[in-house]
Amino acid sequence: MHDADPLRLVVACALDAQAQAADQITHRALAAWLAEIQGLEFASRAPGECAPGQRPYWVPDATVVGREQAAELGIQGPLDFFGGYVERAWQAGKAIVHPLIERPTLTPRGWSEAFAARVKPLVLDGHSVFCHHDALRGASARLQRGPQRLKPAGSRGGQGQQVVADTEQLAEALGRYTEADYREGLVIEDELDDPQTHSVGQVMINGVLLSYHGVQQRNRNPRGELVYGGSDLLVVRGDFDCLLALDLVASVKQAIGQGRQFDLAAHQLLPGFYASRRNYDIAQGQDAQGRSCCGVLEQSWRIGGASGAELAALQALVADPTLCVVRASTFEVFEDKPLPRNARVLYRGPDANGDFLMKYAMVEPYEFG
Locate the domains of the chain by residue range: 8-90, 93-122+125-191, 194-365
Q: Report residue 49's pLDDT band, with 50, 70 and 90 as the boundaries.
A: low
Ranges of H-type helices in the chain: 21-38, 66-73, 113-119, 132-142, 167-174, 240-244, 250-269, 307-319
Q: Does this model's pTM top 0.75?
A: yes
- Tell me if 185 sits within 8 A of 153, measured CB to CB: yes
* Rounded CA separation 182/298 (Å): 17
For 259-315, the pLDDT digits (tens) are 999 999 999 999 999 999 999 999 999 999 999 999 999 999 999 999 999 999 999
Write down how long the chain is.
Answer: 369
Under DSSP, the state recorded for 260 is: H
The percent of residues in the chain predicted with pLDDT above 90, rounded, is 87
- In DSSP terms, 359 is beta-bridged to 332, 347
Terminal alpha carbon distance of the chain:
28
- CA 150, CA 157: separation in Å to the nearest integer? 14
Q: What DSSP assignment string belongs to 216-250? A: EEEEE-TTS-EEEEEEEEEEEES-HHHHHTS---H
Q: How confident is the model at residue 59 (pLDDT cuts 50, 70, 90)?
A: very high
Poorest-pLDDT segment among 10-24, 43-57, 218-232: 43-57
Task: From the options 3.40.50.12280, 1.10.10.10, 3.30.1490.20, 3.40.50.300, give the CATH code of 93-122+125-191.
Answer: 3.30.1490.20
> Taking all residues of the chain, what is their mean pLDDT, rounded to a whole number?
95
CATH 1.25.40 is right for the domain spanning 194-365: no
Backbone phi, then psi, for 282, in 5-degree steps?
-130, 125
